[in-house]
Amino acid sequence: MENFEFFNPTRILFGKQAEQKIGKLLKKDDIEKVLFVYGKSSIKDIGLYDRVVSSLKKEGIEFIEHGGVKPNPVLSHTKEGITKAKENKVDAILAVGGGSVIDEGKTIAVGAKTDKDIWEYFKRDKVIKKALPVYVILTLAATGSEMNGFAVITNEETKEKLSITSEHIFPKLSILNPELTFTVSPQYQAYAAVDTIAHVIEYYFSGQYCPNLQNRLIETIIKTVMETTEIILDEPQDYNARAEFMWSATLALNGLTRLGIKGGEFPNHMIAHSLGALYDLPHGACLSIVIPAWMRWYKDKNHKQFERFAKEIFNVNSAEEGINNLKVWFKKIGAPVSLRDAGIVESEISRIVENAYNIAVVWDMAQKYSKEVLTEILKNAND
Ligand code: NZQ
Ligand code: ZN
């Protein structure tokens, strides 16, 4: 096992009706005024908005609303949130929603504590020194943002989708009630499953050495995600399936699965972020297009691990069969598996390559992911 340091300060409150406690928990932390960040309509449709408001009012906690966060959250709306947070001198951010809402909330938390242009942090030109505390009520299990120090924002003017990472943006508290995810559509459940699998396989495949403990932990998460997703697609209100899926998604990107692995990168996310930035596709859909293509390109660089994956996950013998089976499963749950499935024509590949290469430069991966390599991978994704 490689040496490692593990730090995760997020308190998790998991279970039925847990969100009712939000007012009390904020009060306990001496929070008097929050910026209440949410998406378009889902929290109102499921009655969660009313429950949150009544819990805040009951404890006398003031709130300023910042609704309308869009999937693949954008810089302009984030900046509006930063202005509101500063003008109203809020003590904390309360993000109620999926990964997009949480990420915009985390970014506002950083922006509220600096006079610098927030985008400089995404370009990695500045290091985050402080942020407002972030509180989360999760309504869509997928990204792991509820228990990690990442946030991803799209600069819609420059078409760049970039991330920040800092110990200051781990949520202080995240409330995970699986019942709040009963209404997540089959389509988004499929994207969530792809995203969770993506989070665990990036290091599993791209690392040069993966301890058996980590291999097994990752394979357990993948099997649980596949099993529970099939149940959820059949029976959206199956509590235990929603609960196991939710916790799997959190575990997949809270730092635990990558400990002790030698090396490791996030190449599938790098390319997927370009598809998100250019075509505004859901994050999981970008990944289901990229992953089989990247796997085909990479498999001979870590052949044993691909064979292990094929055997453990699908009980087949060859790396190629493992990749095909994963692609077939993505298709079965309703995720796109090629650029063509997403309506992107082959002539667009050079544009995607340019965009992905810029991310590779910011992420310090450009040496391995040259434009030629990116072109080869994306050609695999064509159909
Ligand atoms: O806007 P509303 O009306 O709330 O609807 C949302 C949205 O349309 C809906 N939704 C959320 N909860 C629901 C619900 N619909 C019905 N019932 C519910 N309970 O779902 C749609 C998608 O929501 P979104 O938050 O965009 O999805 P997700 O959680 O997949 O987040 C995706 C974003 O997170 C980033 C992605 O790049 C993307 O921008 N990621 C963040 C990461 C992180 N911070 O660690 C890591 C990931 O790799 C990823 O990059
Ligand atoms: Zn992801």
Domains defined for the chain, CATH in brackets:
11-180 (3.40.50.1970), 185-380 (1.20.1090.10)
Ligand 1 and 165: CB distance under 6 A: no
pLDDT, tens digit, for every residue of 330-343? Answer: 999 999 999 999 99
Helix, strand or coil, per DSSP, at residue 213: helix
The tokens 């906690």 sit on which residue? Answer: 61
User: How far apart, in whole angstroms, are the C-alpha atoms of residue 133 and residue 170?
Assistant: 8
Token couple for 206: 């791209």
95 in Cβ contact with 134 (< 8 Å): yes
Q: What is the β-pairing status of strands 33-38 and 160-165?
A: unpaired
Token couple for 194: 């792809």
Residue of 41, 51, 128, 143 to mutate, ligand 1, most atoms within 8 A of C-beta: 143
Closest CA to 164 of 211, 133, 124: 124
HSE at residue 369, side-chain half, CA atoms within 13 A, is: 28
Measured in angstroms, how far is the CA atom of residue 99 from the centroid of ligand 2? 9
User: How far apart, in whole angstroms, are the C-alpha atoms of residue 334 and residue 287?
Assistant: 13
Tell whether the model's pLDDT for residue 81 goes beyond 90.
yes
**pLDDT score for 14:** 98
User: How far apart, in whole angstroms, are the C-alpha atoms of residue 369 and residue 292?
Assistant: 17
- Residue 74 DSSP class: B
User: For the residues 104-126, what does the mean pLDDT come to?
Assistant: 96
**pLDDT score for 305:** 98
Tell whether the model's pLDDT for residue 383 goes beyond 90.
no
Token couple for 34: 């929050």
Ligand nearest to the CA of 139: 1
**pLDDT score for 228:** 98
Measured in angstroms, how far is the CA atom of residue 262 from the centroid of ligand 1? 30
User: How far apart, in whole angstroms, are the C-alpha atoms of residue 267 and residue 199?
Assistant: 11
pTM (two decimals): 0.98
Ligand 1 and 250: CB distance under 6 A: no
Ligand nearest to the CA of 195: 2
Centre a 10 Å sphere on the Cβ of residue 3 and count the other Cβ atoms it contains.
6
Tell whether the model's pLDDT for residue 13 goes beyond 90.
yes
User: How far apart, in whole angstroms, are the C-alpha atoms of residue 171 and residue 95?
Assistant: 10
